[in-house]
Amino acid sequence: MQLKKYSINTALYALMLLCLIWALSPILIMLMSSLKTQVNMFEMPPKLFFAPTFESYREMFFGRGDFPRFLKNSLMVSILTTIVCLFLGVMGGFGLARGGFKREKDISFWIISTRMAPIPAVILPLYLIFSKLQLIGTTTGLILAYTTFNLPFALWMMTTFFKDVPADLEEAAMIDGCGKFRAFWRIVVPTASPGIVATAVLCLMFAWNDYLFASIFTNRQTQTIPIAVSLLVSQSGIKWGQAMATGTVIITPMLICGLLVRKYMVRGLSMGAVK
């Protein structure tokens, strides 16, 4: 029995290791390629040990391109979108969780169903609305576009998380003298903080990685990092070094963010689960 259990555990660990290698290999290849010259990048077999060069990063940040502006736009749009979605999602989610509305489940489904729509289906009506409001080519328009697509998800997530917080905690705080808002701010929000962090990270990832919205609702001055990658493809060829360096810059903040909040992510995404 012990030998069988040991064999099963060994097989599971080997499978997890294989999946990890499969998932990390493209990232490691991209990172290594960004530190090679274009000639060395396509050597076969590829060299694992080489003299790194930062020429691609130097050209990307200090060359004639607009990458620093793309980076600034991505940071500003992603952070502001996350803040707006989180604020409205927390307030609206708490209202849905504690409001006692009739047909509450139907309302929650209607909200999340708008998030199920494919992005191309909502781009045309949004474009017509934004063009009337003169928001095409502005960061405000891009933030509103991301918020339109992210807010239903944030509302649905936060409703689920707040339902997992016992209402007795609020009642006990109000008996001790807290008002409704103070009980919400001092008791409910800290208790649901793992869910809030999980929602914030997911909203941030969507806004940071999006290409389709950014390619349609922006102009040269307001484009974001994913657009920068597409500009490296031209009729004369592909700037592979800068493409790999740009890809590394795109994934690095999300990897760092995921590592910093991984405990909150696990707890947050498991809140509301069947126990």
Residue 253's pLDDT band (boundaries 50, 70, 90)?
Answer: confident
Looking at this protein, which amino acid is placed at residue 264? Y
Contacts of 28 (CB under 8 A, 6+ apart): none
Q: What is the mean pLDDT of the chain?
A: 83
Contacts of 73 (CB under 8 A, 6+ apart): 139, 218, 222, 223, 224, 225
Residue 256 has pLDDT above 80, yes or no: yes
Q: What is the pLDDT of residues 112-128, one digit of tens each?
A: 777 777 888 888 888 99
Which has the higher per-residue pLDDT, 31 or 48?
31
> How far is residue 226 CA from its own chain's centroid?
13
Where does the chain show beta strands of DSSP type E?
233-234, 237-238
Tens digits of per-residue pLDDT, 60-118? Answer: 888 777 888 999 999 999 999 999 999 999 998 888 888 777 777 777 778 877 777 78
Q: How does pLDDT run across 152-196, given as a tens digit for each residue?
A: 889 888 888 888 888 888 878 887 777 878 888 888 888 888 888
Q: How many residues does the chain have?
A: 275
Q: What percent of the chain has pLDDT over 70?
A: 95
What's the pLDDT band for 271 if we cut at 50, 70, 90? Answer: low
CATH superfamily of 66-270: MetI-like (1.10.3720.10)
Q: How far apart are CA 37 and CA 202, in angstroms?
A: 35
User: Is 5 a residue whose pLDDT tops 80?
Assistant: no
d(CA 151, CA 84): 8
Q: Which residues pair with 238 in a beta bridge?
A: 233
Is residue 224 a contact partner of residue 70, using CB atoms and an 8 Å limit?
yes
pLDDT in the model for residue 266: 63
On whether the CB atoms of residues 34 and 248 are closer than 8 A, the answer is yes
The pair phi, psi for residue 205, each rounded to 5°, is -65, -40
